[in-house]
A and B are shown apart, each in its own frame.
Chain A
Amino acid sequence: MKTTITNTLRKLSRRNEPYIFLVLMLLCVLIEIRSGQFFSSNNLVDIASALVVPGLFAIGAFMVIISGGIDVSFPALASLSVYATTKFLLDMNYQGGVWLAILIALALGAILGAFNGLFIGYFRLPALIVTLGSSSVFKGVMQGALNSKQLTIIPIGMKDFGTSSLFIARNPVSGLTSRMPVAIIAFLVVLFLVYFMMRYTMFGRGIYGIGGSETSAHRAGFGVRNTKFIMYVMVGMIASLAGVMRVCMMQQAHPTNMLGMEMNIIAGVVLGGTAITGGRGTLLGCMLGTLLIVIVENSLILIGVPTSWKSVFTGLLIIIGTGVSAYQVSHMNRVRSAKTPAKEVVA
């Protein structure tokens, strides 16, 4: 019994999630001690609400990084598809629910994702180059063809969806209230679907396989090209959904304010233990990493850190976080190389 416990502990100590969880808890407790506001119901609801958009983006970025690729185009992709959707619905004076907006955005996201997938999956171009390029193209289309400027009025369906809430949390001390947006359901559904796909379908295991070794995946019989293509289509759809949620929650469509989010999102995914080289990582870790970034971005103000210092903290967190996992990897390698000759003696 004792050995199973130590074994489990040893296994856990080699994974990233426990460390991230520990850091996350430490940070929460620190903020709580300094401010007494962290674990208040309205702050927790605020954090959950702030997680929706980055969380969705992170799920997409996670899939891409697991496959051994990288995607820096998702904010531009999301901006373009949601902007086009909003503008289209405004122009036709659409009065219905949010569903049509989501459907159109998903369709556009699929097309734009297919653009990435075509070049990366079928023409085997490097993902970084392709997505840097497509990011530019998406921005250009938005600014040129759609002549984008801030839309301060959004269709009524999107507006209603953005203001509707599951419940409202009220802080008994300060009297502040926070709404839990319905959008969180979209995030949870996608999270569950992708979790299931990555763990229980051959398609999802194929993404892990491709990230480990593309040649092996090909020889084993995975359709490497199709898998990559479909994956980028999915990522485009998830990113577009995130864009719709963002516009609904912000009650306005701004063409550029999602741009630049990619760095923090990717950092969160890597912080959560996903190997930037592909093949290794869990959705749980990815969510913890993203949550950590979201909390730093939203709650530092509670302990009196001015917002202008936010990026310094995020940056430090990323460096320390990725440094720790890099150290772990090199430490494991050293242990292994020290072990190998010793094994020879025993055998």
Chain B
Amino acid sequence: MAECLLKAVDIYKSFVGVQALKNVSFEIHPGEIHCLAGENGSGKSTLIKIISGVYSPDSGYMEFGGKNYEKITPIDAIQSGIQVIYQDFSIFPNLTVMENLAFNSELADRRKFVNWKRMRQIATEAIAKINFEVDLDALVGSLTVAEKQMIAISRALMFNTKLIIMDEPTTSLTKREVGNLFNIILKLKERGIAILFVSHKLNEVFEISEQFTILRSGELVATGNTSDLDSNKFSYYMTGREFQKKTFIPQHVSEEPIFQAKGIGMQGAFQDVSFDLRKGEIIGITGLLDSGRTELALSMFGIRPIDVGTFLVNGKEVKLSNPQVAMGNKIGYVPEDRLSEGLFLTQSIADNIVISEIDSLANKIGVLDHMSRSAEIERWVKELAIGTPNPDNACQTLSGGNQQRVVLAKWLALNLDILILNGPTVGVDIGSKHDIHEILQKLAEKGLALLIISDDLPEVLENCSRILVMKSGRIVADLDAAQTDEKTILSYMM
């Protein structure tokens, strides 16, 4: 462990008035799995970009393979053996696997003409390195996220790679795919390749990494052995706040169920599902990805209507045939992928908040009343603590947690009775996750009925009073959250 693969010393970097990195130093050794953690905006991406030569630091220097660099160009970085796998994997969805794999090295060799035979050979060798099997002629756009990632990894290994930087590689992977990824990372380690693994997920950091570095608002908070770290310390380093786990205990649960599902089913998705939901309670539905949990959520909001069975709202039978009917029955739905389904990212935060209640903000002649619009926006920005200097900024300027809050605001503005949340904290960092949980619990206390669909078991255990476990389209267990644990739930899920 004596020699260092990469050493960054006293790195400073600022962008027009914002200090992105302050005095950051850390080292990576050959064959080490190093986790770089931090909340959104903590400077993780800036640091990666400095290491890979995209940005040059204002001051400080880097040592790579014994050589000192005051700044490093992207070419230097690649030649020194640094490869970055970005979150979008830098792929061409419209081209074949073969081309995606071969382009980089063909371009590096400054080839002008395409030799399809050679490309196939390069691609075959590349995937063989990690024993990855895939149809070389398939279009990359038709592959799963995990397969795309494998392509990015094989491509990174084609050069004389010593360090692979992976930017949040587990986002949008299923549990099993994360397992596969970790196996590959371990194999790379055996070959002496170091991995810088960027993540803000606590369990992953503990599972895979040996060393860690945590950044907060551009400053290095801690770096060292992962074995010296525990989950409380980790959360504290990440956020600078102490969290107490607050298990939700419903206070005022109504007698009569506000929402009932009786023997509902949807072909190819789920069958024979029944449950009651009361005001003031939070129910969790969990299960594997193919368990039918998402389809169930979509059916309750009328996006995918059921084939058999009935829904009752306030004891009255309703046909939830489309989202308008569901909204008319005061049901709201926060989708799993808030980025693609729940928000108009390029529109302003303000417009996103008021979009669902736009009709009620109109004055007598049907024209939008700007006074009440601003009042609503101000109310929700304050109530949900949406972190923005100006609600007129585009939604995409917000961090994941804040975007999730905007989605919440959009629904809460409707004065709902029932709110369905699908994976409410997927891709959200610890601090925001905690805040969102607090908001959800507060909403339940105010008398809202909530239904959380999630495979994040600690989340379900902490926030729900009852947990329904789904497997292959059926509810296989109805558990009292206070009297169960992760192991029991898992045993029902598998």
Q: A interface vs B, CB < 8 Å?
A: 199-205, 208-209, 211-213, 215-217, 219-222, 275, 278-280, 332, 336, 338, 340-345, 347
Q: Is the interface of B mostly helix, strand, loop or mixed?
A: loop
Given contacts A205-B99, A216-B91, A347-B176, A221 and B104 within 8 Å (CB-CB): yes
12 more CB-based (< 8 A) A-B contacts, given A211-B94, A212-B94, A213-B88: A201-B112, A208-B95, A209-B95, A212-B93, A213-B91, A220-B103, A221-B108, A222-B107, A279-B93, A280-B94, A336-B142, A344-B174
- Find out whether the CB atom of B113 lies under 8 angstroms from the CB atom of A212: no
* Contact partners of A343 in chain B: CB under 8 A: 144
- 22 CB-based A-B contacts, threshold 8 Å: A200-B114, A202-B113, A205-B99, A205-B103, A208-B92, A209-B92, A209-B95, A209-B99, A212-B92, A213-B91, A213-B93, A216-B88, A216-B91, A220-B90, A220-B107, A278-B94, A280-B94, A336-B142, A340-B144, A341-B289, A342-B290, A344-B176
CB of B111 within 8 Å of the partner chain: yes
Taking a contact as CB atoms under 8 Å apart, the answer to whether A209 and B90 are in contact is no
CB pair B108 A212 closer than 8 Å = no
Residues from chain A with Cβ under 8 Å of B273 in the complex: none
The 6 lowest CB-CB distance pairs between A and B, nearest first, are: A279-B94, A212-B92, A212-B94, A221-B107, A341-B290, A216-B90
Kindly state the separation between the CA atoms of A211 and B95 in the bound complex, as whole angstroms. Answer: 10
Residues in B lying within 8 Å of A, measured CB to CB: 86, 88, 90-95, 99, 103-104, 106-108, 111-114, 142, 144, 174, 176, 268, 288-290
Q: Say whether A216 contacts B92, CB under 8 Å.
A: yes
Q: Could you tell me the distance between the alpha carbons of A340 and B172 in the complex, rounded to whole angstroms?
A: 13
Give the docked Cα–Cα distance between A134 and B38 (Å). Answer: 48
Residues from chain A with Cβ under 8 Å of B144 in the complex = 340, 343
User: A213: which B residues are within 8 A, CB to CB?
Assistant: 88, 90-93
Assembled-state Cα–Cα distance A275/B99 (Å): 19
CB nearest to B114 among chain A residues: A200
Residue on A with the closest CB to B180?
A347
B176 touching A199 by the CB < 8 A rule?
no
A201 near B92 with CB under 8 A, answer: no
Q: Which residues of B contact A209 (CB under 8 A)?
A: 92, 95, 99, 103
> B183 to chain A: closest CB distance in Å?
14
A204: chain B residues within 8 A (beta carbon): 114
B294 to chain A: closest residue by CB: A341
Is there contact, CB below 8 Å, between A202 and B114?
yes
Nearest B-chain residue to A201, judged by Cβ = B113
* Contact between chains at B111 and A202 (CB < 8 Å): yes
Residues of A within 8 A of B88 (CB): 213, 215-216
Across the interface, do A203 and B112 meet the contact criterion of CB distance under 8 Å? yes
Chain B nearest CB, measured from A6 CB (Å): 16
Residues of chain B within 8 A (CB-CB) of A200 are 113-114
Provide the residues of chain A in CB contact with B290, threshold 8 Å: 341-342, 344-345
- Most A CB contacts (10 A, CB to CB) among B95, B108, B112 go to B95
Indicate which residue in A201, A215, A278, A336 contacts B114 across the interface (CB closer than 8 Å). A201
Residue of B nearest to A217 (CB): B92
CA distance A204 to B113 in the complex (A): 9
- Quote the shortest CB–CB distance from B49 to chain A (angstroms): 12
CB-based contact B91/A202 at 8 Å: no
Is A202 within 8 A of B106, CB to CB? yes
A340 to chain B, nearest CB (A): 6
Which residues of chain A have C-beta atoms less than 8 A from B288's C-beta? 344
Q: Which residue of A202, A279, A338, A345 is within 8 Å of B92 (Cβ)?
A: A279
| Minimum CB distance partner of A200 in chain B | B114
Chain B, Cβ-Cβ closest to A196: B113
Inter-chain contacts of B176 with A (CB < 8 A): 344, 347
Chain A residues with CB under 8 A of B104: 220-221
Q: Is the CB of A199 within 8 A of B114?
A: yes
Question: CA separation between A332 and B142, bound complex, in Å?
Answer: 9
Give min CB distance, B113 to chain A, whole Å: 6
Measured between C-beta atoms, what is the minimum distance from A31 to chain B in Å?
35
- A46 shortest CB reach to chain B, Å: 37
CA distance A13 to B111 in the complex (A): 34
In the complex, what residues of A have CB within 8 A of residue B94's CB? 208, 211-212, 275, 278-280
Q: In the complex, which residue of chain B has the Cβ closest to the Cβ of A277?
A: B94
What's the least CB distance linking A344 to chain B, in Å? 5
What's the Cα separation between A7 and B263 when bound, in Å?
Answer: 42
Bound-state CA distance A220–B290 (Å) is: 35
Q: With A203-B112, A221-B104 given, is the CB distance from A212 to B90 under 8 Å?
A: no
- In the bound complex, what is the Cα–Cα distance between A209 and B144 (angstroms)? 20
**A336-B142, A341-B289, A344-B289 known; A202-B107 Cβ under 8 A:** yes
Q: How far is the CA of A34 from the CA of B127 in the complex (A)?
A: 57
Q: Which residues of A contact B103 (CB under 8 A)?
A: 205, 209, 220-222
Q: Given the complex, which residues of A lie within 8 Å of B86, measured CB to CB?
A: 219
Contacts of B91 in A (CB 8 A): 213, 216
- On whether the beta carbons of A205 and B114 are closer than 8 Å, the reply is yes
Complexed CA–CA distance, A280 and B112 (Å): 21
Q: Which residues of B contact A208 (CB under 8 A)?
A: 92, 94-95
Complex CA gap A199/B268 in Å reads 43
Looking at the assembled complex, report how far the CB atom of B398 sits from the nearest CB atom of chain A, in whole angstroms: 21
CA distance A340 to B144 in the complex (A): 8
Give the residues in chain B near A203, CB-CB below 8 Å: 112
Q: How far is the CB of A14 from chain B (nearest CB, A)?
A: 10
Which residues on the B side are within 8 Å of A280 (C-beta)?
94
**Chain A residues, Cβ within 8 Å of B99:** 205, 209
Write the chain A residue with the least CB distance to B107.
A221
Complex Cα–Cα for A264 and B469 (A):
56
Residues of the B chain whose Cβ atoms lie less than 8 Å from the Cβ of A216: 88, 90-92
Which chain A residues lie closer than 8 Å to B114 at the CB level?
199-202, 204-205
CA distance A203 to B144 in the complex (A): 28
Write the nearest CB–CB distance from B130 to chain A, whole angstroms. Answer: 17
Closest to A211 in B: B94
| A213, B103: Cα distance in complex, Å | 13
Residues on B with beta carbons closer than 8 Å to the beta carbon of A202 = 106-107, 111-114
Chain A residue at minimum C-beta to C-beta distance from B92:
A212
CA distance A3 to B289 in the complex (A): 32
User: Measured between alpha carbons, how far is A338 from B294 in the docked complex, in Å?
Assistant: 12
C-alpha gap A344/B114 in the complex (Å)? 37
A63 to chain B: closest CB distance in Å?
A: 15
Give Cα A347 to B147, complex, Å.
13
Selected contact of B90 from candidates A211, A219, A342, CB within 8 Å: A219
Residues of A near B90 (CB, < 8 A) are 213, 215-216, 219-220
CB distance from B401 to the nearest CB of A (A): 25
Give the residue among B88, B91, B107 with the most A Cβ atoms within 10 A.
B107
- Which residues of B sit under 8 angstroms from A222, Cβ to Cβ? 103, 107
| A185–B305 CA distance with the chains assembled, in angstroms | 59
Q: In the complex, what distance in Å separates the CA atom of A221 from the CA atom of B93?
A: 17
| Cα–Cα distance between A340 and B99 once the two chains are bound (Å) | 24
A203 to B111, CA, bound (A): 10
CA–CA, A201 to B111, complex, Å? Answer: 9
- A342–B290 alpha-carbon span in the complex (Å): 7
Chain A residue with Cβ nearest B74: A219
- Which residues from chain B contact A279 at a C-beta distance below 8 Å? 92-95
For A338, the closest partner residue in chain B by CB is: B268
Query: How many Å from the CB of B92 to the closest CB on chain A?
Result: 4
**Nearest-CB distance from A339 to chain B (Å)?**
9
Which of A202, A204, A338 is the most central at the interface, judged by chain B CB atoms within 10 Å of its CB?
A202
